[in-house]
Chain A
Amino acid sequence: MVSLEQELKEMLLRELKIEDVDPEDLWDDAPLFGEGGWGLDSLDAVEIVVLLQKHYQVEIKNMEEGRAAFTSIHTLADYIRAHRPIGQFKDN
């Protein structure tokens, strides 16, 4: 079974049109924004917010939580697990 982290990585690479990168090379704790990781910026965050709403019915309303969630793939997956509506949670 594909982990939620892996699913997120593949979704971001596909939807944000990040090319020439192997998802295996991007470790789960790599920073999403700024230097030294995925190198995403605020415009990519706009896309991620909508993708989370569309695919996981998860909204980031509290910005303190949002700031922590947007740290890495790992923290994003944790946020989804904690906030996904009951009944929609898969084993990943």
Chain B
Amino acid sequence: MTAKLSRPDYGGNLGHAFFYAVLKLFGLRPAYFCLAFVATYYALCRPSVRRSARPYLDHRFPGQSPLRRLWATIRYLYSFGQVLIDQAAVGILGPERFEMDFPDEEKLKVRAQEGRGLLLLGSHIGPWQAAMTSFGRIPIPVHVLFRLYDHERGRHFFELAEKRPDFHILFPEDFLGGLVELTNALSSGECVVLMGDRTFGARGQRAPFLGGEATFPIAPYRLVCVTGADLVMVLTTRTGPYRYRIEQFCLTDDPPEDVPDLPRTPSGKPDWRALGRQRAQDILLRRYGAQLERHVAAHPFQWFNFFDFWGEETDTGKD
């Protein structure tokens, strides 16, 4: 038994086709205008959509009155719709139409070339999928574990762009969840991109998050603990029409607070392999959760999890 994901569908194929047409003919802002009505309709008339948004909104905005909750739901759905539209627009209009503020991009490129292996840990925040276009610019091979066929989220930007992405895509349904290939990639000093807020049915671990305990995947931390790769959290934020921002936070650069003398690798970085596996995982997961919490506090309508993240059961990423 798994928790059910029920994201707003925005009208299925017909709805998507409508928004794609508006995008092609009129551009982004008219598409957002239409979205306002659609988001309001879903919040008012689709109890299943309200239910799917409730676990997150309950934790982020506890004790809201029904009217405030309805308004929060509309804003949440509208924000999610904007990201879907942006994602489509990157494919249809081209990524060059978007202004991407990525202040630490050069720093990330330098880190990637240092040969330790680089694990970029993403989250379902803002235009996370559109931001993937930037990963192709990292000057080493990039492998992304990605759920491609999820009909509720529409087509992905590289399908709409009708060109191959600049990175290698692996799927959670692949042999052993793609983890064998990802381990090889990190051991060879390459770059791997995983999501830190979905287990996709794999083993998870409970950790504090927004006043409760939620289940996070542990594969990213296990990969780092066995390969010695750098773990960098990547956060994407939509900052306006045609604009988004990517921030990065390295979770492995500083040793644990209570083990400041953790052995160092030849490159001078803390060697997380020297710490007990479970302990290292616990610390890195806590760091991720705390950073995600800070981001969600600042951008409450840009973290998208339409299932009970705090429930005892894990998601499969399927409906």
Contacts and interface: CB of A to CB of B under 8 A. Distances in A.
B73 interface: no
B177 A42 contact: yes
A53 B181 CA distance: 13
The B interface, classified by DSSP as helix, strand, loop or mixed, is helix
Contacts of B222: 43, 46-47
A67 B227 CA distance: 21
Contact of B175 (A47, A50, A61, A67): A67
Contacts of A60: 180, 184
Contacts of B218: 43
Interface string B165-183: 0000000001111011111
Contacts of A63: 174-175, 180-181
Interface residues of B, number: 19
B184 A70 contact: no
B223 interface: yes
A46 B183 contact: yes
Interface in A62-87: 63, 66-67, 70
B179 A45 contact: yes
A53 B218 CA distance: 22
Given A46-B183, A46-B223, A59-B184, A41 B175 contact: no
Contact of A43 (B174, B179, B187): B179
B187 A45 contact: no
Interface of B: 174-177, 179-184, 187, 202-203, 218-219, 222-223, 226-227
19 contacts: A41-B202, A41-B203, A42-B176, A42-B177, A42-B179, A43-B218, A45-B176, A45-B180, A45-B183, A46-B182, A46-B223, A46-B226, A47-B222, A50-B183, A60-B180, A63-B174, A63-B180, A70-B176, A70-B180
Given A45-B179, A66-B175, 16 more contacts: A33-B176, A41-B203, A42-B176, A42-B179, A42-B202, A42-B219, A43-B202, A46-B179, A49-B187, A50-B187, A50-B226, A59-B187, A63-B174, A63-B180, A63-B181, A70-B175
